[in-house]
């Protein structure tokens, strides 16, 4: 079954408060959200994460600044929701999540993983830490800033510089043997 592409006019109409456009938007987004959540959530939490994401979207859509960022915004919300549920499970049970209930994921090719590992090893520690916290652990900017003891603006700047440096290292195939 093909998923209907999301038209920017539907997003704009939903942002301006049209309930029919909002229903259409949420219905069109649901299947893609579910597919994405299956890779980021514990399998038992997928449907809950999708529902929470749709609820968040319906409440906060009017705050979306640029219509063309809707899809990435949507996926960031569901990934954050998956991470929140995973942290909740750890706090509730005081144990790590058993890998047996994790969804099956296709790993990145070995060469890419090695290249990324080598580039991460070359990064200065403060850049490596912020990349791991934000892009691997999925912490929000506020959580990252709090853990690092930085202001939000400084956190954003450091994250941006870390990503730019990481891109440069990957583009020139940094090997870590300086």
Taking residues 103-126, report their average pLDDT: 79
> What are the distances in angstroms from CA 159 to CA 42, 56, 64?
27, 25, 22
What CA–CA distance (Å, rounded) separates 143 from 12? 30
pTM of the model: 0.48
In whole angstroms, what is the distance from residue 67 CA to residue 72 CA?
10
What is the rounded end-to-end Cα distance, in angstroms, of the chain? 50
Tens of pLDDT, residue by residue over 60-98, are 888 888 888 888 888 889 888 888 887 766 665 565 555
Give the rounded percent of residues in the chain with a pLDDT score beyond 90. Answer: 18
Q: Sketch out the chain's domains with CATH numbers.
A: 8-93 (1.10.1740.10), 110-171 (1.10.10.10)
Nearest Cα residue to 159 out of 137, 141, 136, 138: 141
């Amino acid at each position: 079954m093909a998923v209907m592409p999301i038209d920017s006019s539907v997003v704009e109409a939903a942002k301006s408060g049209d309930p029919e456009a909002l229903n259409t938007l949420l219905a069109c987004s649901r299947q893609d959200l579910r597919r994405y959540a299956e890779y980021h959530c514990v399998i038992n939490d997928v449907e809950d994460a999708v529902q929470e994401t749709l609820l968040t979207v319906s409440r906060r859509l009017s705050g979306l600044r640029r219509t063309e960022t809707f899809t990435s915004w949507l996926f960031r919300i569901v990934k954050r929701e998956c991470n929140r549920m995973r942290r909740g499970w750890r706090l509730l049970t005081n144990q790590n999540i058993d890998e047996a209930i994790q969804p099956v994921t296709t790993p990145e090719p070995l060469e890419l993983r090695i290249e990324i590992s080598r580039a991460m090893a070359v990064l200065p520690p403060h850049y490596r830490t912020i990349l791991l916290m934000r892009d691997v652990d999925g912490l929000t900017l506020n959580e990252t800033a709090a853990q690092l003891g930085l202001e939000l603006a400084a956190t954003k700047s450091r994250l941006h510089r870390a990503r730019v440096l990481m891109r440069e290292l990957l583009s020139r195939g940094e090997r870590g043997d300086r």
